């Protein structure tokens, strides 16, 4: 969901340690293959595939795509092409058709699981990875998504962005990083203190490549917010974070891997609550204090 932002996140099976120049890739052709324009951060081109076709409700909250339904794929140049990592949001009936097309076209599936509980309908999340010619990778992803009802054309931006009826300055102060509004959700990306690598290649920037803790606040009225996202953890951090979240009224909804060969080995912990936004931010901060997160 990182996601949240999306949320939500993802992986690579890259076999090369040295990066290629982003200028060597014809990004316009990648855009054309995916039918949308990338958000560019450093040398990473990230494409969003929000499930704007779904009306997902959880505990009476209609989840915005930017809170937990934002599928994505991120391309990072490397020697001989690009590596791609991503997280596709699918319904149960879409999993096998999409997986078949991914495998047929040379991509890898690195995880399939839930991020939330009790929602109707219940979305699943398929993490993918691969390396090679970026246009071929992009074409393979679009071909696979065509097996689902994921909208293949980007949604038109609203005339007026949805308001964030929360004290965002206070949330920034508590979480310790600057958040940003995105589609009616206030999102944070909290990187880890130490770098994360895949086959010797550093996954940077950490947010766009899915290795930063993602937190989203969706206002639900009266100073309350629904929160979800995922903590990016090493093994020894998992249970201290579980305890900190539960002690602060935040439900842990999934604990699992997203990637296959990253270093250090990472575990992703998803969460959910709908309560006073400041109270929840303090609970999230208590959990972040149990991790090796970068200081602002």
Whole-number Å distance between alpha carbons of 19 and 206: 16
* Residues paired with residue 226 on neighbouring β-strands, in sequence order: 218, 274
3-state SS assignment for residue 137: helix
3-state SS assignment for residue 27: helix
Q: Is the peptide bond before 205 cis (omega within 30 degrees of 0)?
A: yes
| Helix ranges, 197-289 (H) | 238-247, 277-288
Task: Report pTM.
Answer: 0.90
| Helix ranges, 25-128 (H) | 27-34, 65-68, 95-104
Dihedral of CA atoms 178, 282, 227, 61 in degrees, nearest 10, equals -130
Q: What is the pLDDT tens value at each position of the chain, 296 positions in all? A: 444 443 333 433 333 333 445 558 999 999 999 999 999 999 999 999 999 999 999 999 999 999 999 999 999 998 779 999 999 999 999 999 999 999 999 999 999 999 999 999 999 999 999 999 999 999 999 999 999 999 999 888 888 889 999 999 999 999 999 999 999 999 999 999 999 988 678 899 999 999 999 999 999 999 999 999 999 999 999 999 999 999 999 999 999 999 999 999 999 999 999 999 999 999 999 999 999 987 65
Whole-number Å distance between alpha carbons of 153 and 28: 16
Whole-number Å distance between alpha carbons of 187 and 184: 10
Which helix or strand (DSSP H or E) is residue 172 part of? helix 168-175
Whole-number Å distance between alpha carbons of 63 and 119: 9
Whole-number Å distance between alpha carbons of 145 and 265: 29
End-to-end CA distance of the chain: 23
Whole-number Å distance between alpha carbons of 115 and 7: 10
Residue-wise burial string across 88-124, b where 16 or more C-beta atoms lie within 10 A, e elsewhere: bbbbeebbeebbebbeebebbbbbbeebbeebeeebb
Q: Which residue in this structure is represented by tokens 């890259």? A: 14
């Amino acid at each position: 969901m990182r996601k949240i932002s999306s949320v939500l996140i993802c992986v690579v099976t890259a076999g090369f340690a040295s990066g290629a120049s982003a200028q060597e890739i014809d990004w316009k052709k990648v855009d054309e293959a995916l039918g949308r324009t990338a958000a560019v951060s450093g040398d990473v081109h990230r494409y969003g595939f929000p499930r704007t076709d779904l009306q997902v409700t959880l505990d009476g909250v209609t989840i915005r795509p930017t809170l937990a339904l934002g599928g994505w794929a991120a391309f990072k140049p490397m020697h001989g092409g690009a590596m791609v990592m991503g997280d596709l949001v699918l319904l149960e009936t879409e999993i096998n058709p999409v997986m078949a097309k991914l495998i047929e076209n040379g991509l890898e599936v690195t995880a399939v699981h839930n991020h939330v509980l009790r929602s109707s309908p219940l979305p699943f999340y398929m993490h993918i990875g691969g390396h090679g010619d970026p246009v071929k990778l992009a074409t393979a992803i679009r071909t696979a998504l065509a097996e689902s009802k994921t909208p293949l054309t980007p949604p038109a931006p609203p005339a007026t962005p949805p308001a964030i009826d929360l004290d965002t300055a206070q949330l920034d102060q508590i979480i310790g990083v600057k958040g940003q509004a995105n589609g009616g959700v206030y999102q944070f990306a909290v990187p880890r203190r130490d770098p994360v690598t895949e086959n010797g290649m550093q996954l940077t920037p950490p947010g766009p490549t899915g290795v930063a803790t993602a937190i989203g606040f969706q206002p639900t009225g009266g100073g309350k917010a629904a929160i979800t996202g995922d903590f990016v953890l090493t093994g020894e951090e998992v249970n201290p974070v579980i305890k900190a979240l539960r002690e602060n009224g935040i439900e842990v909804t999934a604990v699992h891997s997203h990637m296959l060969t990253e270093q250090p080995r990472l575990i992703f912990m998803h969460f959910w609550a709908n309560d006073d936004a400041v109270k929840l931010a303090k609970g999230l901060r208590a959990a972040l204090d149990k991790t090796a997160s970068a200081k602002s």
